[in-house]
Amino acid sequence: MTTNPPVLRNASMSDTAQNFQRILTETIQKQMTILGPQITLLKVRNISGLSVADNGTVINMSGNPQAVITQFLEQFRDLSAPLVRKTMQPLLSEIGSLAKTNPSVAPAEIKKEEDKNDIGSLVPKTSP
């Protein structure tokens, strides 16, 4: 039996924002198991609008959820691509499901639905 990780609830957050927060927490904690907590926390703490506890729980998510998700995917895109792609698939699938019920909150890259299994095609590479 799988239990969902605890997510701090904020009465002012919409259900969609709480869902994103829950999905991100689950994904971060999976990445911590695979990549280790130091690498994972270093990556997620580079994301503006996202605050994460040492155990991987998303404490706060502010700003545009699309931008946060896009930055999240960008942080992990180049790390062990096949492994990361596999662990990110639940996040991408769930966001795709959320997008069907509320298209305004899905990242533009997912709306294109070019290839939900390929992170590289979902997030455009940014130049340094």
Q: Which residue type sits at 102?
A: N
DSSP 4: P
What are the pLDDT digits (tens) for 26-45? 999 999 998 899 999 999 99
49: region left, alpha or beta (phi > 0 left; psi from -120 to 50 alpha):
left
Domain that holds residue 101: 15-112
Q: Residue 4: inside a domain, yes or no?
A: no
**Other Cβ atoms within 10 Å of 86 Cβ, number:** 13
Q: Is the pLDDT of residue 74 over 80?
A: yes
Report how many domains make up the chain: 1
pTM of the model as a whole: 0.60
Q: Residue 127: inside a domain, yes or no?
A: no
Alpha helices in the chain (DSSP H): 15-35, 37-44, 65-77, 81-101, 108-112, 119-122
Q: Residue 121: inside a domain, yes or no?
A: no
Q: Residue 76: inside a domain, yes or no?
A: yes
Q: Residue 2: inside a domain, yes or no?
A: no
The overall average pLDDT reported for the chain is 76
Q: Residue 32: inside a domain, yes or no?
A: yes
Q: Residue 86: inside a domain, yes or no?
A: yes
**Exposure letters 9-39 (e unless 16+ CB within 10 A, then b):** eeeebeeebebbbbbbbbbbbbbbeebeeee
Q: Residue 73: inside a domain, yes or no?
A: yes
